[in-house]
Structure 1
């Protein structure tokens, strides 16, 4: 039984050596790093712990090996596997018999166990005081603190005499070892290290910790043979120099590059088998040439003496025309050319069909986008007509009304005569009056809604904290005493306007408002206090809430005037349009020739072609509603789009900001006839102004009116004189001359004219 077990062990060892020789692992056993035992090494040591002293010494000196069960299952035949199982059974029986050894044998093995424990390593984390850097080293627990100091001194490049190590606030003696300090094998401890002479020899790590992206210690979960998982602490050793490049190779099919990598562990040494493998004989290739003859024989039969062969099935073969090699290749070439012509024709047809389908799909998509755009514009137009909110919406509504009136009047004049015509015109006037009244009601409702939005926006802006952006990009907010005061007034105003409140809550809100405004004594605060006392008196008399709406509205209006006073709310001074200091109004007030009021310059919208300031915006809008009823929203959109485009191209552009809506209206209607210069599109909502020569700044004499779809193609042109025909270029130049003649009369625009065109215009 022992001989068979020895033979089996020798066969397993030979198979493992051959497997290592044929499939060398470049990094060796990677489960052991910096003295940490791997999974296999721990299990082998555990299984053989109960054997005799010779077996223990062999297991302690041997390197970690791969799993015996996995190797035997992969390398041995089924019969060999059964032998290995029998060997393991014998080993387990011997282990059970050896477990009953006497105490004398245990005492003999005790010094050897202490020596093995002293050689075990532990993780030592050293904190450098006062920098706070942490150094992690793997150190044998049997070595003394003096040897640890010498190791750390070589790492930090300082003398070992100046180092002082302490544990838990107590200085550790140099003669003590880590095992005496209570450190267990494969455990970890934390110590502090300082320098007795920090000025001359400070403690600084050679490599800053921020340069290390990998942790010092990792925990690996391994599985033993019995299927039990255990965690093993693995120390990471950082080399002082970068690893060498060992070359690699590239996959021909995928193009993936593979590089050989260096590892920290030492490769496993191959056992010496007594055979020289690195010799010239093993590197020399022996060549051998050998000729072989085919063994297939063939024979024929013919008529002879004693043998008759029938000729009934014979056939006469006559030679055909002889074809030379050139003729053969020419025929093949013509066939190939013919096949290629048909194949290329088929490919061309496929490509043309594909291009045609792409073109049809593109045209269908453009048509769908155009329909969608028109539908959205129609929906927006209808929404603005049905729910007007802004001044532009009411201008559009009055423009539609004027268009309807002109059509009805034209129809009446063309169909009726005499008294019937006068009666129809009178009826038309009555209908127009009713429509104007209806529009006026909508305008009053929109003004009330806009008033509430304006008040809410004013209160929110005054109560907002001060904000600024720091140098690092973060937004900083700060509340001041003025913003806190504005926030309190906003909350009180919102509570005052609350409708669904009880009588007790209304009393509390009114008392709070009264005490707030009584802090300042003026006519406004006295009026607010009188109104509050009147409402309280009426509420005690149980007057209905519907009868108090007017009184509450007056209180709310007066309190809002109180909030807008900078003396009561300092934050309101930076939001008011009219400056409170009279000196700022001296040079900023103008007389409106329509309403005869002195207003600020912000209330006027003069054009670049006007020399004097005429009527204010309100008078201009009222005159437009009463007489012309024109819609300027499309011209405003053209001007806004022009300013945005020029701002992106040139931040110092000035001419687009000098033009007003009336100037753009003159350019579009008079100069460019309200249509695109290329295809004649007359949809004002889709027309935009772009540069004629994109290398020069935009101006009325360097522009062209195009649709939104035509702008991208025009701006891609490098030279417009090579892209367009001479007739088209002359027509564009003529429009530029008309624009120059009109805007040269304006002094602020004349200085931007070119010298040569201006001189020619003067001549």
Structure 2
């Protein structure tokens, strides 16, 4: 029985067997000898030691024999001698193999008792070549395959250097399969180990590189020292799984199937028990006791269920908090965006109102004066309505006469402001005209630099501009400077002989004569005005100043005037087409700009600045959405005014807001370009919500949709009369085909 237990023990090192297994085996052998008298008193020692037997079996057998055969020391000595030889053969040594002709060095730890043939097989597996083609040589001589490293003189824990070549380098070259990044890492290291007796021993350790990356399963960290301790999976070799060739990634292998199968153990494998004539040692027996009380299956599953419910409650609580925080962030962003939009709309409206007030206080353009006349007309209507509702008879007539006088005085004041503004604008336009004519020629090179060049014509225009500026400046010049300027202008215009130059020379001589007679400057103001006007006419003549030819609106060729002159029905004058207001109908309105402005001042007094701002915002929005938009740029201010006042009644479609400062046109259907028959008039607050609608037929009610489509029909019927707008009509629409719209 002791031999059977000794064979079942795992292999251990020599020191461990000597310290633990030998006393137990000896004690067990003595007890067995006392109980069984008929057992052999002695056993013959083994003559040879088999290579497949483990070290533990030999040591146990030796211990048993030592206990029963104390009178045979010579037999025990003969038993230990092959054991020592086997221990020496199992010792490892460092073998450095040089691959010829590459020169790559492979370092392995190999047992000195194994043969060169085993070394070839090991290296052939590393290099993935057949072992038959490998040739190992030592000091230039080929080593036989039957010889071992110990026979070649290699000592335990020593090292040797060999060369290895291939007999068929063409088919099987020797190339290391290890990645280049691993070449710098050693294969074998020497570790100094402190034994129990206090003696240091050097042990050669071979470094194994795993073929796969092991999973990190976590670990622990010491709070005080900071040392990290990993789990066993990171400190042991990876688990080897045999390749059976079966497909494991299938539904059958991943689905658990419960099976019940009854098994009955045979009698000959029953548990050994102590009995009469049979003694079983109880040295290694352990007494195990259950901790705590007995837990039934129902209690165990109930505990697991409560734990699962608790985990689920915490997980759901965390998910709910995350969802609430996400909703809170979305709400805050939405409120911030709404506040920003509201602030932006308020700032835009305040800017418009401040711009309107600035235009009231300091009018400069024609639109600014139209705004004043519009405000005057609105005030007159309110006052007239108040007088008619509160007064009767002679008092009413007297109040209306006073209102008329007050209106006349206000119109006169506006007229004086208008004349002053026209004078300032005239001076600015003349200065801008002269600056453009005297500007040098500019062009941009291929490298992006801007080049400027002055020609003889631009220099001539620059000199004439300076002379005109000196003539117009009369207050800051004394008499000598004025005389010098007049003589310079006289010599300049005398270069060309014509009626205009002769008139300028005569006027200059007259002013010089009057100045020599000490005439006051106020008396010379009209004469100086005539000289500056004629000299400006001289500058605008292309024959005297060639650079102004490109800036003049009137063509110099009289034959071109036939196709660009039209009759104004108001003032009965033939004027250029640039003096008439454009319209989308490509037909002139019949009255020039001056007649239209005079009629507006006298009767209608309309202000189109609000419609102009709506048209500008519409063009900017459509330009961002579609760079090739055409219809918004074909419409004019009068057309947009008709669309707002007649078609949409100057109110938003949703909340009927009538504030023109806050109204704007957007697309009715987002996927289609803007047009009078695909638009809706909304306030700025309603625009953001409407632009998010994907399908208007699913969001708005049928009654509202029919009302919007009716307005689109009115707009299509009006603008279809304009040839340019008719080109963009849908050919399938009733208006485009000439058929009446169906009743809804």
Aligned equivalents of 1:621, 1:704: Cα separation in 2: 31
- Would you say the 8 A contact 1:463–1:483 is kept in 2? yes
Gap change, CA 1:440 and 1:280, over 3 Å in 2: farther
Aligned equivalents of 2:546, 2:633: Cα separation in 1: 34
The within-5 A match list for 1:609-620 is: 613-620=589-596
Gap change, CA 1:359 and 1:697, over 3 Å in 2: closer
Aligned equivalents of 1:597, 1:349: Cα separation in 2: 76
Q: Which residue in 2 is equivalent to 1:484?
A: 459
Q: Report deviation, 1:720.
A: 3.7
Q: Which residue in 2 is equivalent to 1:406?
A: 381
Aligned equivalents of 2:390, 2:180: Cα separation in 1: 99
Gap change, CA 1:331 and 1:645, over 3 Å in 2: closer
- Would you say the 8 A contact 2:664–2:681 is kept in 1? yes
Candidates 563, 577, 580, aligned match of 1:587: 563
Q: C-alpha offsets along residues 431-464 of structure 1, whole Å, 9 cap, x if unaligned?
A: 1011101100110110011011101100011011
Aligned equivalents of 2:582, 2:628: Cα separation in 1: 22
Q: Which residue in 2 is equivalent to 1:500?
A: 476
The within-5 A match list for 1:647-686 is: 647=623, 649-650=625-626, 652-686=628-662
Q: Which residue in 2 is equivalent to 1:368?
A: 343
Aligned equivalents of 1:584, 1:280: Cα separation in 2: 112
How many pairs align?
458
The yes-or-no answer on 1:519 pairing with 2:442 is no
Aligned equivalents of 2:489, 2:720: Cα separation in 1: 61
Q: Report deviation, 1:639.
A: 2.8
Aligned equivalents of 2:434, 2:555: Cα separation in 1: 18
Aligned equivalents of 1:505, 1:645: Cα separation in 2: 57
Q: Report deviation, 1:602.
A: 1.3
Q: C-alpha offsets along residues 500-543 of structure 1, whole Å, 9 cap, x if unaligned?
A: 12322222111111111111122221222122222222222333
Aligned equivalents of 2:731, 2:348: Cα separation in 1: 43
**3-state SS in 2 of match to 1:432:** helix
Q: Which residue in 2 is equivalent to 1:387?
A: 362
Candidates 424, 428, 437, aligned match of 1:453: 428
Aligned equivalents of 1:751, 1:349: Cα separation in 2: 55
- Would you say the 8 A contact 2:570–2:595 is kept in 1? yes
How well do the aligned residues superpose, as a CA RMSD in angstroms? 3.1
Q: Report deviation, 1:248.
A: 8.1
- Would you say the 8 A contact 2:349–2:662 is kept in 1? no
**3-state SS in 2 of match to 1:324:** helix
Q: Report deviation, 1:560.
A: 0.9
**3-state SS in 1 of match to 2:732:** helix
Query: TM-score scaled to structure 1, two decimals?
Result: 0.55
Q: Which residue in 1 is equivalent to 2:398?
A: 423
Aligned equivalents of 1:629, 1:405: Cα separation in 2: 11
The yes-or-no answer on 1:736 pairing with 2:712 is yes
Gap change, CA 1:679 and 1:491, over 3 Å in 2: same
The yes-or-no answer on 1:762 pairing with 2:685 is no
Gap change, CA 1:743 and 1:374, over 3 Å in 2: closer
The yes-or-no answer on 1:534 pairing with 2:510 is yes
- Would you say the 8 A contact 1:590–1:599 is kept in 2? yes
Candidates 296, 301, 308, aligned match of 1:326: 301
The yes-or-no answer on 1:626 pairing with 2:549 is no
The yes-or-no answer on 1:509 pairing with 2:432 is no
Gap change, CA 1:628 and 1:754, over 3 Å in 2: same
Aligned equivalents of 1:247, 1:643: Cα separation in 2: 66
For structure 2, the 5+ residue unaligned runs are 1-178, 185-201, 209-291
**3-state SS in 2 of match to 1:431:** helix
- Would you say the 8 A contact 1:744–1:750 is kept in 2? yes
Candidates 352, 369, 375, aligned match of 1:377: 352
Aligned equivalents of 1:248, 1:372: Cα separation in 2: 66
The within-5 A match list for 1:87-98 is: none
Gap change, CA 1:747 and 1:354, over 3 Å in 2: closer
Q: Name which of structure 1's ranges 650-659 and 623-632 shifts more when overlaid on structure 2.
A: 650-659
The within-5 A match list for 1:65-104 is: none
**3-state SS in 2 of match to 1:468:** strand
The yes-or-no answer on 1:469 pairing with 2:444 is yes
Q: Which residue in 2 is equivalent to 1:441?
A: 416
Q: Which residue in 1 is equivalent to 2:245?
A: none
Gap change, CA 1:545 and 1:612, over 3 Å in 2: closer
- Would you say the 8 A contact 1:604–1:615 is kept in 2? yes
Q: Report deviation, 1:759.
A: 5.5
Aligned equivalents of 1:366, 1:327: Cα separation in 2: 58
**3-state SS in 2 of match to 1:682:** coil
Q: Which residue in 2 is equivalent to 1:210?
A: none
- Would you say the 8 A contact 2:676–2:715 is kept in 1? yes
Q: Which residue in 2 is equivalent to 1:689?
A: 665
Aligned equivalents of 2:642, 2:613: Cα separation in 1: 15
Aligned equivalents of 1:762, 1:490: Cα separation in 2: 63
Q: Report deviation, 1:675.
A: 2.3
- Would you say the 8 A contact 1:609–1:663 is kept in 2? no
Aligned equivalents of 2:348, 2:722: Cα separation in 1: 38
The within-5 A match list for 1:50-65 is: none
Candidates 587, 595, 602, aligned match of 2:578: 602
Q: Report deviation, 1:561.
A: 1.1
The within-5 A match list for 1:258-297 is: 281=204, 283=206
Gap change, CA 1:679 and 1:476, over 3 Å in 2: farther
Gap change, CA 1:521 and 1:716, over 3 Å in 2: farther
Aligned equivalents of 1:247, 1:456: Cα separation in 2: 80
Q: Name which of structure 1's ranges 560-569 and 739-748 shifts more when overlaid on structure 2.
A: 739-748
Aligned equivalents of 1:383, 1:248: Cα separation in 2: 78
Gap change, CA 1:736 and 1:578, over 3 Å in 2: same
The within-5 A match list for 1:19-418 is: 281=204, 283=206, 324-340=299-315, 350=325, 353-418=328-393
Aligned equivalents of 1:679, 1:247: Cα separation in 2: 77
Q: C-alpha offsets along residues 616-643 of structure 1, whole Å, 9 cap, x if unaligned?
A: 1111111111101110112222333334
Aligned equivalents of 1:534, 1:497: Cα separation in 2: 17
- Would you say the 8 A contact 2:387–2:400 is kept in 1? yes
Q: C-alpha offsets along residues 705-753 of structure 1, whole Å, 9 cap, x if unaligned?
A: 2344555554555544345443333222111111122222334433432
Q: Which residue in 1 is equivalent to 2:79?
A: none
- Would you say the 8 A contact 1:635–1:665 is kept in 2? yes
Gap change, CA 1:608 and 1:247, over 3 Å in 2: farther
Gap change, CA 1:759 and 1:391, over 3 Å in 2: closer
Aligned equivalents of 2:658, 2:428: Cα separation in 1: 37
Q: C-alpha offsets along residues 271-302 of structure 1, whole Å, 9 cap, x if unaligned?
A: xxxxxxxx9936459xxxxxxxxxxxxxxxxx
Aligned equivalents of 1:345, 1:613: Cα separation in 2: 69
- Would you say the 8 A contact 1:467–1:476 is kept in 2? yes
Q: C-alpha offsets along residues 317-336 of structure 1, whole Å, 9 cap, x if unaligned?
A: x9899893323233333334
